[in-house]
Structure 1
Amino acid sequence: MKKIFLILSVLSVQFFLSQKKANPKAESKNNPIENTKASLSLSKEEIDLYNGKFLKFIAALKISDRAAMEALLSEEAKAKVTDVVYKKLSEDIDTNKTFKIIKTAYKPTIEGDHFPMIQYKYSDDKAVEPKVIITAVFETDGKILGIRPYKVTK
């Protein structure tokens, strides 16, 4: 009898101390995608809105109009962008060239948010893999969160 009680107590302790695996979900206030299986592409209207804001920013960058550039930036970006960043952007982006959209999507963040993103290349770059890719990330209202030029090296 003592052996049966000992075996049952060992098994019951293991059962009661076992843990269930939790499946946490990140809650996001900026997440425009309610269903994770939803399409991650942007609509034509969104692309037109974001592309227009990007082109306005590039035009302001070309003439070094800081007030116009800041009007297009989100509050987060305004807090982080300095004169050095504007100077670096004007050096890395050739504002005299035209741009071609190569990819549109929602960019996920660590917090679980998804922001609209458009990737550009120079329209005169005919290579399969472009030499320079410019990624622009936006808030849903069209304000620019960030612009990052990236030179592809092999």
Structure 2
Amino acid sequence: MIYMKKIFLICTIFAFYSAFSQQSKIKVIESKKIELTSELSKDKIDLYHQFFLKFVDALKASDKEKLKMLISDKIKYYVSDDIIRNLVGGISFDRKFEVYKSGYQQLDKNETYPAIQYKYADDKQEPPRDIITVIFEEDGKILGVKPDYSK
């Protein structure tokens, strides 16, 4: 169970590093797409959205203490300054976020977590060019953030 969470976190970190380190025309395609099941209720979306906006504000301000309060205890140990810098580079703070999809993401055979995929409000393409997937714990703390953006 814990291993799956670590694997998810490591894959997320790898995705950040691979996205920033690629200078060639080779494109990395993940073998496992994020599949969301059963949509979240409006109340849950509102709760998680508020946590995400606080998280984005803390990222924008480089407020590490506030970030530590908003992320899950399960991943605090793995979050480094490099990961935070890469996350800051993967999220546009000047654009407004909209919920694209919501649901539950299965990280382990027995555990599913609430997830929201965000798109930017000015992105009218279907599917959106840039998506930020955020995995939450039930209490709203953030377990994972994965920006997928076009170059």
Q: TM-score range by the shorter chain?
A: 0.7 to 0.9
Q: Which residue of 21, 24, 41 maps to 2:39?
A: 41
Residues 135 and 149, structure 1, Cα contact 8 Å, conserved in 2? yes
Matched residue, 2:63: 65
Matched residue, 1:115: 113
Cα offset, 1:49, TM superposition: 0.6
CA distance in 2: counterparts of 1:152 and 1:63, whole angstroms: 24
Matched residue, 2:33: none
1:52 matched to 2:50? The reply is yes
Matched residue, 2:84: 86
Q: C-alpha offsets along residues 101-129 of structure 1, whole Å, 9 cap, x if unaligned?
A: 01000001224201000000111111112
Matched residue, 1:19: none
SS in 1 for 2:54: helix
- Equivalent residue letter for 1:77: I
Larger Rg: 1
SS in 1 for 2:133: strand
Matched residue, 2:96: 98
CA distance in 2: counterparts of 1:58 and 1:107, whole angstroms: 21
CA distance in 2: counterparts of 1:99 and 1:151, whole angstroms: 14
Between the aligned residues of both structures, percent identity stands at 42
SS in 1 for 2:140: coil
CA distance in 2: counterparts of 1:112 and 1:95, whole angstroms: 35
Task: Return the TM-score normalized by structure 2.
Answer: 0.72
Residues 133 and 152, structure 1, Cα contact 8 Å, conserved in 2? no
Length, aligned pairs only? 115
Task: Return the TM-score normalized by structure 1.
Answer: 0.71
- Equivalent residue letter for 1:127: Q
Q: Identify the structure with bigger relative contact order (alpha carbons < 8 Å, sequence gap 6+).
A: 2
CA distance in 1: counterparts of 2:111 and 2:150, whole angstroms: 27
Structure 1 consecutive aligned stretches of length 4 or more whose deviation exceeds 4 Å: none
Cα offset, 1:98, TM superposition: 0.8
- Equivalent residue letter for 1:132: D
Matched residue, 2:126: 128
CA distance in 2: counterparts of 1:129 and 1:48, whole angstroms: 23
Residues 61 and 95, structure 1, Cα contact 8 Å, conserved in 2? no
Matched residue, 2:73: 75
SS in 1 for 2:124: coil
